[in-house]
Amino acid sequence: MDRNLIFPRSLRYLMAVAEYQSFTRAAEALYVSQPTLSQQIKQLEDLLEAQLLDRSGRTVRLTAAGEVYLQHARRALVELNAGKRAIYELHDLSRGSLRLGMTPISDYLATPLLDQFNGRYPGITVSTLEMPQGDIEAALAEDRVDIGIAFGSAASSNVFSDEIDTHIMFIESLNLAVGKTHPLAGQEKPLGGEVLESEPLVLFHPDYALRRHIDVYCAEQGITPRIVMEATSLSVIIEMVRRGRLATILPQTIAHAQQGLHSIPLQPGLPRHTISLICRKGAYKSPACQAFGELAGEWSAARCQLGGIQPLSPLSRTLAPTDFHEPAPDGTVPQKVTPGA
């Protein structure tokens, strides 16, 4: 008989006696003494206040109560074994779930990572929750998401509380983006920041991190941007810009990836931004969460190599904060930067 240490001993003993119709043979099969076996079953009967075994004949038989109870016990054993197999499947990543908190910007930038993760672990269900940057930390603290993909200034400090671990994956430049039919679509040289005063803009709502960083840049440069439309959807912003009348500010990667958009650098440039994985310190990290962090490290290293820049350190299984190298303006000598410094 297969011994299942998770299953209560008294139930295993009852099943053995029912199978062998003998206390002696059941005890031998279980490698326990007969008194021990008898005592366990008697305690079970006392607990249930019902006689489970008929001991009066030459063989031991289940009573009507014993028959009914053993049916439930066998179903319970099946469920326990299924639960054990499910745990194994979680650890070998053939099943599981992952909840990601993302901003609209990081949604677009991290889509290739999500595609790779799905291709490598098709049995893991990924749920993405789009929310403003400031809400991701709260979602982590309240266990509404397992991990966040954040978008923030590389120069900012104390972006997240001490309860959050941060690992930067890559750094992104912010440029002016216009449609292919916009009068500035052929512009290649950097434009002065004052263009934001003359061109009608569609930007994110002030609740979003990218908009707040744009507002800071404009304030520092003494610029009053000409904002004619605000949105909470990146898709809406891209579509409005693609139509050719309005301009916006987007990460360079997004602008280049969108058909019908043209990216123009500004002078002085907006502070470069980071795409980071964030998670709650000390929180349990499921195998799926750990696998996502490891794949993110591989992906960010490959992405940097393809772009000819210094790769970042791979993510550890604990998603701990780490130093990273920011590529210098000429793309040659990396400058060491510490997140939160």
Q: Do residues 61 and 21 lie in contact, with contact meaning Cβ atoms separated by under 8 Å?
A: yes
- Predicted confidence at residue 163, as pLDDT, reads 82
d(CA 65, CA 226): 81
* 3-class SS of residue 212: helix
DSSP β-bridge partners for residue 177 = 248, 263
User: In this structure, which amino acid lies at residue 166?
Assistant: T
- Predicted confidence at residue 60, as pLDDT, reads 94
DSSP β-bridge partners for residue 247 = 201
Count other C-beta atoms under 10 Å from residue 334's C-beta.
14
- Predicted confidence at residue 51, as pLDDT, reads 95
- Predicted confidence at residue 304, as pLDDT, reads 66
Fold of 9-91: Arc Repressor Mutant, subunit A (1.10.10)
d(CA 1, CA 37): 15
- Predicted confidence at residue 84, as pLDDT, reads 79
Distance, C-alpha 307 to centroid of its chain: 25
Q: What is the CATH number that goes with domain 174-267?
A: 3.40.190.290
Could you tell me the two tokens for 131? 């929310």
* 3-class SS of residue 78: helix
Task: Kindly list the domain boundaries of the chain, sorted by start residue.
Answer: 9-91, 101-171+273-337, 174-267
Domain 9-91 shares a fold with domain 174-267: no
Rg value, the chain, Cα: 31
One digit per residue, pLDDT tens: the chain, 341 residues? Answer: 444 556 788 998 999 999 999 999 999 999 999 999 999 999 999 999 999 999 998 899 999 999 999 999 998 888 888 787 778 777 889 888 999 999 888 878 888 899 999 999 999 999 999 888 778 888 998 889 999 998 876 554 335 677 888 888 888 889 999 999 999 998 999 999 999 999 999 999 998 888 988 999 999 999 999 999 999 999 999 999 999 999 999 998 888 888 899 999 999 999 888 888 999 888 888 899 999 999 998 888 877 665 444 444 444 444 433 333 333 333 332 333 333 32
Fold of 101-171+273-337: D-Maltodextrin-Binding Protein; domain 2 (3.40.190)
- Predicted confidence at residue 79, as pLDDT, reads 85
Cite the DSSP H helix spans in 92-161.
104-120, 133-141
- Predicted confidence at residue 6, as pLDDT, reads 63
- Predicted confidence at residue 306, as pLDDT, reads 53
- Predicted confidence at residue 282, as pLDDT, reads 84
**What's the whole-model pTM score?**
0.63
